Amino acid sequence: MSLKFAILGYLSTGPGTGWDISRQFDTGLGWFWTARHSQIYPELKRMTQDGLVERDSETVGEALERFSYSITDRGRALLAEFTASAPVYPPNRDAERLQFIFADDTPEALRAHLEAHRERHTRRRTQLLEILDALRANTHERINLRVANRRAEGKSLTLGLRELAYQGELQRADLEIEWADGALDWLSDNTSY
Amino acid sequence: MSLKFAILGYLSTGPGTGWDISRQFDTGLGWFWTARHSQIYPELKRMTQDGLVERDSETVGEALERFSYSITDRGRALLAEFTASAPVYPPNRDAERLQFIFADDTPEALRAHLEAHRERHTRRRTQLLEILDALRANTHERINLRVANRRAEGKSLTLGLRELAYQGELQRADLEIEWADGALDWLSDNTSY
DNA sequence: TTGTCCATGTAAACAGTTACATGATTGA
DNA sequence: TCAATCATGTAACTGTTTACATGGACAA
């Protein structure tokens, strides 16, 4: 359901191809939503049929046909409806925690498990710091485009929301690192492993 | 994929029915994994065929047939394989953040959005504190059963892992509340909304 | 000319949700 | 006897992943 809104959100900044959306899901936007190209192309087709986006084709080089999508007024309205609606929270599903709580029968694996947790979030942390730097230095192209399309008052809001969102991800990463450290300490103090 | 392991984990504490598993997903275990009964019953059937669990029936009252499942050695081995394996992280998908970053076109909704976020995690926080209390007071039945089935050295590990896991959830809730507070402050300082 | 990236699709399988369907037990 | 809870299933649909399939553009 939200894939549609991720795409609408992306296109609300400016037109783009299915490929662009796919790229974006691997980088900036990908912190909040992702999808494979195999899901994107059929979705864009459906959205075109529903009048949420418009597709026009351009030819690159000799023969490569490329389809660029732009958001329509209907799409913009639906996106506004989404952003203004009450958040809906997904069910709790955390396979990693499941591994953790049932690891009392395989305690040898616990330390490696927690170190993997720590490393993952340390990596995320580094990546997030880079994004935040780019955001503050105004070198994040797509966001600059979005900011440019807004009038003076809206500019700081666009940037502020992004910064808050990435900041939130950063805090989450920091928390996970601290949690893993605490758990590793506890392990050292309480088991022979 | 992980539903199987959530069920195996549950049954590794002691036998239970599909209904029991469903109940558990609404309470304790539900913080880490959930599923509807429509997914549980077919999964139990498959797991029985795969020899991971064993089913036997008992009759309650006059006519109600109830099926109790117990984990097999094969099931236990597969669970151990799971808990000892490296964690696999799901793709980032956070519809709420999507609402947030694209709300620069519907700023009137932002305050309500952040307050909903705050309330959700405040509610979660309260529930988690109750669970942690029960854990420390040893009134959490299912976990007591699990602890009881372990030898002296394992007992503190079982309890410790649970406590760390719920503690982690609590920290996550606290973080979200702080984040929302910070974002609300920022909003007050930086926009007319 | 070769490798990397750009670019667009489809099909089958798997995971999860919603809705449909039924009925017994227990306690107030 | 009524309501809440216990109890087990199936069917249709939606969302997501993996694999299959194809080919052009561009730079070294």
User: Closest nucleotide to A34's CA, by C1' atom?
Assistant: D16
Average pLDDT score, chain A: 94
Kindly report, residue by residue over A77-121, the tens digit of the pLDDT: 999 999 999 999 999 999 999 999 999 998 899 999 999 999 999
CA distances to A81, A89, A144, B110 from A86, rounded to whole Å, are 10, 10, 28, 10
Share of chain B above pLDDT 90, in %: 86
Q: Do B168 and A97 touch (CB under 8 A)?
A: yes
Rounded, the Å distance between the CA of A22 and C1' of D22 is 18
Judged by CB atoms closer than 8 Å, whether chains meet at A34 and B92 is answered as yes
Sketch out chain B's domains with CATH numbers.
Answer: 3-84 (1.10.10.10), 95-190 (no CATH)
Give the residue-averaged pLDDT of B24-41: 97
Nearest by CB: A83 against B109, B117, B164: B109
Which of B81, B100, B104, B145 is the best substitution to test chain A (most A C-beta atoms within 10 A)?
B104
The mean per-residue pLDDT over the stretch B143-167 comes to 91
The answer to whether residues A153 and B105 touch, using CB atoms and an 8 Å cutoff, is no
What contacts B24, CB < 8 A, 6 or more positions away? B10, B16, B30, B142
Per the structure block, which two tokens stand in for B92? 């980032």
C-alpha span between A33 and A30 (Å, rounded):
5
Query: Nucleic chain C: which protein residues 24-83 of B have CB below 7 A from it?
Result: 34-36, 38-39, 60-64
The crossing angle, in degrees rounded to 10, of helices B152-190 and B141-148 is 140
Task: Report DSSP letters for B93-143, one per residue.
Answer: --HHHHHHHTGGG-GGGHHHHHHHHHHHHHHHHHHHHHHHHHHHTT--HHH
pLDDT at residue A65, as a whole number: 84
Q: Which residues of chain A lie closer than 8 angstroms to B186, CB-CB?
A: 160, 164
Average pLDDT of the residues in B71-88: 97
Q: Helix, strand, or coil here: B77? A: helix
Angle at CA of residue A24, ends A23 and A25, nearest 5°: 90
Amino acid A154: pLDDT:
76
Cβ-Cβ contacts under 8 Å, A179 against chain B: 164, 167-168, 171
List, as own/partner pairs, every contact residues B105-109 make where C-beta atoms lie below 8 angstroms and the sequence separation is at least 24, other chains included: B105/A12, B105/A76, B105/A79, B105/A80, B105/A83, B106/A80, B106/A83, B106/A84, B107/A157, B107/B191, B107/B193, B108/A84, B108/B193, B109/A83, B109/A84, B109/A85
Overall average pLDDT of the B50-71 stretch? 90
B89-134 pLDDT, tens digit each: 999 999 999 999 999 988 899 999 999 999 999 999 999 999 999 9
- Give the distance from residue A69's alpha carbon to the nearest chain B alpha carbon, in angstroms: 18
Query: Which band of pLDDT confidence, cut at 50, 70 and 90, is reported for residue A135?
Result: very high
**Closest nucleotide (CA of A38 to C1')?**
C9
Percent of chain A with pLDDT over 70: 98
Q: What pTM did the predictor assign? A: 0.94
> Average pLDDT of chain B?
94
**Which chain B residue shows the shortest CA-CA distance from A33?**
B93
Please tell me the predicted confidence (pLDDT) of residue A153: 75
Nearest Cβ partner of B83 from A99, A160, A165?
A99
Query: CA of B178 and C1' of D19: distance in angstroms?
Result: 44
* Residue whose Cα is closest to the C1' of D9: B41
Residue B137 confidence (pLDDT) above 80: yes
Q: How far is the CA of B36 from the C1' of D5 (A)?
A: 17
Nucleotide nearest A21, CA–C1', reads C7
Give the pLDDT score at A193. 57
Mutation site for B-interface testing, chosen from A2, A101, A124 by largest number of B Cβ within 10 Å: A101
Average pLDDT over residues B167-185: 98
Query: CB–CB of B53/B78 below 8 Å?
Result: no
Which of these, B96, B117, B101, lies nearest to A2 by C-alpha position? B96
- Distance (Å, whole) CA A42 – CA A22: 13
For residue A162, give how far its alpha carbon lies from the nearest alpha carbon of chain B (Å).
6
- Partners of B30 on chain A (C-beta within 8 Å) are 92
Q: Find the residue in A nearest to B5 (Cα).
A: A98
Instruction: Give the model's confidence band at B192: pLDDT under 50 very low, under 70 low, under 90 confident, else very high.
Output: low
Enumerate the residues of chain B whose CB falls inside 8 A of the CB of residue A175. Answer: 171-172, 175
Using DSSP's 3-state secondary structure scheme, residue B82 falls into: helix
Helix (H, G, I), strand (E, B) or coil at A58: strand
DSSP bridge partners of A71: A53
Dump pLDDT digits (tens) for A25-56: 999 999 999 999 999 999 999 999 999 999 99
